[in-house]
Chains A and B, each alone.
Chain A
Amino acid sequence: MVGTGSMEIIDVLSDVNAATLVPAGPLSVSESVRIPSLTSTVSELQPVWEKYLLCDLVNYFNTKYRDELFSILYRNEFLQMLLRDVIDFVVKELQDSAEQFNIGISLEREDPEDPEQRIIFLIVCGKWKFRDFNERLDAMVKVWKYMESRKNEYLKNSPLDRSKIEEAYFLVSVFIGEEGDDCEVFPTR
């Protein structure tokens, strides 16, 4: 496996380089599932995959569980699709509500009361025009509802992939936080 890994890394890298030449814009489902097959381990490929998977769309991956996050992203293309769709929606829906915002991803676990519990948070941190927290919660509800509609759409189009689709849906949540308040904002990568 190691022997073929380097060639595949180069293939992926050239894909990434090609992708950077294309102006950023909403990604369609077909684009987001264009994943080359890989035989190397996630840790070998991580720097490449970080860039390839979602780094063109988010500002940071802030989690102690990077390897775990990337291995889930790697094996479940519906998770990537869902995150990309939700990011597109967030950008369109919230751009008028903010002076500026950043988007990051974090895998959360570490609950001794339930080691199985984990959530991938899409964290949207910004300076908002919302007057109070309840308005932000209403915005979150909108995003959650959109996420549910995407899940239903995936299930309609790919009924045989139900387990992957449900895994993605159960893992992802969205939190809209305020910069310097309930979010940290890290430098753009």
Chain B
Amino acid sequence: MTVKSFPPGEFLNLAERMVYLKNILDDEALIRTVMNRCYYAVFLVFREKLGLPENTTHRRVYEEVKRKNIKLAGYLDILWVYRRGADYYLHSPVVLRGWAITHRVSFELDKAERCIDIAQRALSEAI
């Protein structure tokens, strides 16, 4: 077997497949994972394109992206906030600043779809 580098854009493909699963509205973990994968797809693609080492911090990657292209950095920082909500805020993952508001799964799905929109834009514009 050939050892080759995993293409991080595959995380976005996974998120796109997950968001269309029939049972997604019954499975908040899926929705949260979509948001998380969208961020990491973009973060890792950017990190690799910039040639930064694997232990580079989120902040450093963000700053390097912003130095080169503020639009791509803007996508990344919105995804960062959504990912943070999805990973750490158990009451509701979708509030921009991590403050809990009404918890509705359909509302969260809408945000997960937005994460996919942003990640698709980010990756297509980064090429």
Query: Interface of A with B (CB < 8 Å)?
Result: 62-63, 106, 108, 110-114, 116-119, 121, 123, 133-134, 137, 140-141, 144-145, 147-148, 169-170, 173-175, 177, 181-184
Contact = CB atoms under 8 A, between A and B. Distances in A.
Band of interface residues on B = 20 to 34
A140 B71 CA distance: 9
A58 to B, nearest CB: 14
B97 interface: yes
Contacts, number: 78
Contacts of B66: 169-170
B88 A112 contact: yes
B123 interface: no
B94 A117 contact: no
A63 B80 CA distance: 17
Which of B70, B71, B80, B101 gathers most chain A CB within 10 Å?
A: B70
Nearest to B82: A182
B84 A111 contact: yes
Contacts of B62: 117, 170
Contacts of A173: 73-74, 77-78
B97 A106 contact: yes
A184 B58 CA distance: 26
**Can you list the 6 inter-chain pairs with the closest CB atoms, starting with the nearest?**
A114-B58, A117-B59, A148-B70, A144-B74, A117-B58, A116-B59
Which of A111, A112, A133 gathers most chain B CB within 10 Å?
A: A111
Contacts of B117: 133-134, 137
Interface in B78-98: 78, 80-81, 84, 88, 94-98
B32 to A, nearest CB: 15
B96 A121 contact: yes
B95 A184 contact: yes
29 contacts: A62-B97, A108-B81, A108-B84, A110-B84, A111-B80, A111-B84, A112-B88, A113-B58, A114-B57, A114-B58, A116-B57, A119-B81, A121-B77, A123-B96, A123-B97, A137-B117, A137-B121, A141-B74, A148-B70, A170-B62, A170-B66, A173-B73, A173-B77, A175-B78, A175-B81, A181-B107, A184-B95, A184-B99, A184-B101
